[in-house]
């Protein structure tokens, strides 16, 4: 099977979506289930070939408010690639111009086309703005339009994939009738408690006797990074901790400023490759995930797999389910409430929490399970089209 993935949410320093797509390609190579065609934005046009994967990097314009990302503004270029490569199944991972090229190709070639709702863009980018301007009646108009666009677009796909139950429920309430659950997974051999490095904190110039708090992700307002910064300041009023920040984004200057202000306690590490990140996860005491609109939350799953507990906003992504005693929801999304819960977790038995977290991930999450479900869906959609001659 020749499977094409198209998305704008991809860069050399992006996070969860890139992780998913790379794991998907590796699964295809390992099992022979598919060969992957990947179409993503880049600073220039080029084609890369690696075992089991063919990657088209299409010129895209930088996103002004987040320079690590680019946007492909020429959907015809993508359509030409699709016609040349002739994939059997298409999966679209962003809601902008690319879906229309994919849907047009799928209709003319009579092949399945699915959409993966990786980003809850209506709430992330439009709902907050509407709430901030609630004194103006027209302020909610962009949010309303975004919801209508979401329904119109995703009902055109043969299936719409949601990575967590709350997101699936939301899409169905919105009127997206083809929504189905495909949970994500984690590389449990890479993200493992055995990666813990007792010398890491000292090597970074931090006090290894102090508990360590970690943030991993894009440094931006939509990820609630300002909440994390304020939470950390409030936590220091109660107890001494190390603070480690891994990621990149428009708020990198604020991370550097915090490090300059607290040089003995803060390390801003920038973007880290997953091999380095696995050591970091296993070597700290808690991961804080303040984001409000995560469709899944891969960083949290990677931390849990590494034996590290997670503090997160209540009802966030896959963490909305019963995650046992390894993760800690914060009902009140305020810096003070987060600081309270983090302080509580840091006072608990780290080894016991780590054991619970690891066991939970091994029992419930794996990439094999994710892609076996996806393969079955692809085959069913392909057979359905063949049966009905669509």
* pLDDT tens column, 219-272: 999 899 999 999 999 999 999 999 999 999 999 999 999 999 999 999 999 999
CATH no. for residue 65?
Answer: 3.40.50.2000
Distance from C-alpha of 125 to C-alpha of 35, rounded to nearest angstrom? 34
Q: What tens digit of pLDDT does each residue of 103-121 get?
A: 999 999 999 999 999 888 7
- The residue among 159, 112, 177, 116 whose CA lies nearest residue 388 is 112
Residues 170, 200, single domain; the answer is: no
Task: Give me the pLDDT at residue 321, please.
Answer: 58
Q: State the average pLDDT for the chain.
A: 90
377 and 355 part of one domain? no
Q: What is the token pair recorded at 385?
A: 């089209």
User: How far separated are the first and last CA of the chain, in Å rounded?
Assistant: 19
- Does residue 238 share a domain with residue 127? no
Count of CB atoms within 10 A of residue 304's CB? 31
Do 171 and 52 belong to one domain? yes
Q: Is the domain of 137 the same as that of 248?
A: no
| Confidence band, pLDDT 50/70/90 cuts, at residue 323 | low
Q: Are 92 and 117 in contact (CB under 8 A)?
A: no
Burial of 318 from C-beta contacts in 10 A (0-12 / 13-18 / 19+): buried
More confident residue, 167 or 55: 55
Residue 197 and residue 254 in one domain: yes
Same domain, 146 and 233: no
Express each pLDDT in 117-176 by its tens digit.
Answer: 988 877 766 665 444 445 444 457 788 888 899 999 999 999 999 988 888 999 999 999
pLDDT score for 322? 56
Is the domain of 174 the same as that of 220? no
User: For the residues 168-194, what does the mean pLDDT come to?
Assistant: 94
Q: Which domain holds residue 289?
A: 193-364
Is 64 found in the same domain as 172?
A: yes
Mean pLDDT of 55-64: 92
Distance separating alpha carbons of residues 149 and 143, to the nearest angstrom: 10
Domain identity same for 230 and 269: yes
In the prediction, which pLDDT does 74 show? 93
Q: How do residues 9-20 score in pLDDT, each as one tens digit?
A: 888 777 788 999
Distance CA 281, CA 214 (A): 8
Instruction: Give the number of domains in the chain.
Output: 2
pLDDT, position 326: 80
Gap between the Cα atoms of 251 and 132, Å rounded: 20
pLDDT at 318 over 80: no
Q: Residue 195: CB partners within 8 Å, gap ≥ 6? A: 278, 279, 281, 282, 283, 306
pLDDT of 336 reads 96
Q: Indicate whether 114 and 201 sit together in one domain.
A: no
140 compared with 308, residue with greater pLDDT: 308
Does 59 lie in the same domain as 108?
Answer: yes
Q: Which pTM value belongs to this model?
A: 0.83
pLDDT of residue 11: 83
């Amino acid at each position: 099977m020749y499977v094409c993935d198209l998305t704008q949410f991809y860069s050399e320093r992006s996070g969860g979506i890139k992780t998913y797509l790379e794991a998907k390609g590796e699964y295809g190579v390992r099992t022979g289930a598919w060969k992957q065609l990947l179409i993503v934005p880049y600073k220039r046009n080029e084609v890369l070939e690696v075992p089991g994967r063919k990657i088209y990097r299409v010129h895209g314009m930088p996103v002004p408010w987040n320079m690590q990302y680019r946007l492909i503004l020429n959907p015809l270029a993508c359509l030409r690639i699709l016609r040349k490569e002739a994939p059997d199944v298409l999966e679209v991972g962003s809601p902008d111009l690319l879906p229309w090229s994919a849907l047009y190709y799928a209709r003319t070639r009579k092949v399945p086309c699915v959409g993966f709702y990786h980003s809850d863009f209506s709430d992330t980018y439009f709902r907050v703005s509407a709430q901030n301007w609630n004194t103006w009646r027209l302020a909610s108009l962009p949010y309303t339009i975004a919801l209508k666009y979401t329904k119109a677009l995703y009902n055109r796909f043969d299936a719409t994939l949601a990575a967590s139950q709350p997101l699936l429920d939301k899409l169905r309430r919105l009127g997206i009738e083809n929504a189905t659950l495909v949970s994500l997974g984690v590389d449990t051999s890479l993200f493992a408690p055995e990666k813990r490095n007792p010398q890491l904190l000292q090597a970074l110039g931090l006090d290894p006797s102090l508990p360590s708090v970690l943030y991993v992700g894009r440094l931006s307002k939509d990820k609630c990074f300002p909440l994390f910064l304020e939470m950390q300041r409030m936590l220091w009023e109660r107890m001494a901790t190390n603070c480690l920040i891994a990621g990149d984004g428009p708020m990198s200057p604020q991370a550097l400023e915090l490090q300059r202000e607290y040089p003995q306690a803060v390390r801003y590490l920038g973007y880290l490759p997953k091999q380095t990140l696995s050591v970091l996860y296993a070597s700290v005491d808690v991961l804080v995930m303040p984001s409000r609109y995560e469709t899944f939350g891969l960083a949290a799953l990677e931390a849990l797999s590494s034996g590290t507990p997670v503090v997160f906003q209540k009802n966030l992504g896959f963490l909305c389910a019963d995650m046992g005693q390894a993760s800690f929801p914060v009902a009140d999304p305020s810096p003070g409430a987060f600081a309270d819960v983090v302080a509580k977790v840091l006072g608990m038995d780290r080894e016991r929490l780590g054991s619970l977290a690891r066991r939970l991930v091994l029992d419930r999450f794996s990439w094999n399970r994710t892609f076996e479900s996806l393969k079955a869906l692809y085959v069913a959609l392909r057979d359905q089209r063949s049966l009905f001659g669509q």
